[in-house]
Amino acid sequence: MLNNSENENTSIPNGKEGLISKISEKTKSYHKETIYGIGDDSAVLNYHEKRTLVSTDIFVDGIHFDLMYTPLKHLGYKVVVASISDIIAMNATPKHITVSMAVSNVLMQAQILEIYEGIHHACEEYQLDLIGGDITSSKKGVSICVTSMGIANEEDIVYRKGARPTDLLCVTGNLGGAYMGLQLLEREKSIFQSTGVQPKLEGNDYVLQRQLKPTARLELLNYFKTKEIKPTSMIDLSTGLATELINLCNSSNMGCEIFEERIPIEDDTRKIAAEFGIDPTIAALNGGDDFEILFTIELSNYEKIKNNDFFSIIGSINPIDKGTNIVMSDGNIIPIKTN
């Protein structure tokens, strides 16, 4: 846990004690469920008679992020978004997170605190209590492990496995933007490395924001509640649409059909994709990091949702023997494959 006593017999970052007290000072509590947060061996939570949801992810530099072009605040923010998306994708409300970090001495204390600024920012935005963690040194590189906990009434929880034939397949927001942001950052990095020319990123705010500071779709939970809709299945798009569609269909033992023209892709994403000679549909199908939510609802809910602002109906669920297909704009029907 985030306290000043762990691992003192190992080489730890200098001034760990001061670091942790600085982090604690800026850690607010938003929830009555938090009985005790940072400072003892464990945190103590009171989840009453609700169900407890738990999800954990590890993020590693050079694999999930590149310290060369990732602002540290954004990094802190993004790992929290990525983690709580898994709770939201169960139709549950994220409430608590722990963050553990192994950092090499390339990062100064001020830089670790910058990561935590992003974490605290995400906590404020999504009303999360940071209740513990660990900070230790690594020989090389940075690893950040985030565990999210949330709550739901048992009857509200939505698994991946519940999709049924004729259910509508829906996806929040729009897709492929984070992937195009990544392509842009990678290109400018490689130009900078080979020529020393400073990155040109102006005018591309949208896709950069999608990559560096994605949004968790917390408002979806409230939407479902207000409309009295319970999705039949849900999954988050940490990976591309193609992989997660197949995961959802496999879990539900179903097939599906989606329509290329219905996949929501922002104009800015199309513009950058054209510049890179990438088919925007491919970016949407195979690009990751959008953290949108893919879900299915019963066809009978169509009237309730048809004019909604923030998700699109991209297709529907079929029996498994029909396969998982995409109907292209030219009318061709192609099996969906993962990259």
Site for a second copy, residues 89 to 128, rule: CB under 8 A: 89-90, 92, 96, 98, 100-102
The region of 20-28, 43-51, 119-127, 270-278 touching a second copy under the rule CB under 8 A is 43-51
# residues contacting a second copy (CB under 8 A)? 87
> One symbol per residue from 139 to 178: x for binding a second copy (CB under 8 A), - otherwise; what is it?
xxx-x-x-xxxx-x-x--x-xxx-----------------
Query: CA 211, CA 156: separation in Å to the nearest integer?
Result: 31
Per-residue buried b or exposed e for 196-220, using 16+ beta carbons within 10 Å of the residue's own CB: eeeeeeeebebbbbbbbbbbbbbeb
Q: Is 234 in the site for a second copy (CB under 8 A)?
A: yes
Query: CA 110, CA 130: separation in Å to the nearest integer?
Result: 19
Q: What angle is formed at CA 150 by the lines to CA 90 and CA 216, rounded to 5 degrees?
A: 65
- Residue choice 29, 136, 209, 215 for contact with a second copy (CB under 8 A): 136
Contact 163, 254 (CB under 8 A): yes
Q: Is 243 in the site for a second copy (CB under 8 A)?
A: yes
Nearer to a second copy, 64 or 120 (CB): 64
- Residue choice 58, 191, 229, 313 for contact with a second copy (CB under 8 A): 58
- CA dihedral (57, 63, 67, 71) in degrees, to 10, reads -50
Query: CA 166, CA 145: separation in Å to the nearest integer?
Result: 39
Nearer to a second copy, 46 or 300 (CB): 46
Nearer to a second copy, 49 or 202 (CB): 49
Q: Tell me how far, at minimum, the Cβ of 318 lies from a second copy, in Å.
A: 21
Q: Is 180 in the site for a second copy (CB under 8 A)?
A: no
The burial class, CB within 10 Å (0-12 / 13-18 / 19+), for 184 is: buried
Q: Tell me how far, at minimum, the Cβ of 203 lies from a second copy, in Å.
A: 25
Contact 76, 208 (CB under 8 A): no
The burial class, CB within 10 Å (0-12 / 13-18 / 19+), for 8 is: exposed
Closest CA to 106 of 68, 70, 140: 140
- Residue choice 1, 67, 313, 320 for contact with a second copy (CB under 8 A): 1
- Residue choice 244, 257, 260, 266 for contact with a second copy (CB under 8 A): 244
Q: Is 20 in the site for a second copy (CB under 8 A)?
A: no
Neighbours of 106 (CB within 10 A): 12
Q: Is 63 in the site for a second copy (CB under 8 A)?
A: yes
Q: Is 3 in the site for a second copy (CB under 8 A)?
A: yes
Q: Is 49 in the site for a second copy (CB under 8 A)?
A: yes
Q: Is 45 in the site for a second copy (CB under 8 A)?
A: yes
- Residue choice 38, 131, 184, 263 for contact with a second copy (CB under 8 A): 131
Coil vs helix vs strand at 138: coil
Residues 267-286 that bind a second copy (CB under 8 A): 286
Q: Is 9 in the site for a second copy (CB under 8 A)?
A: yes
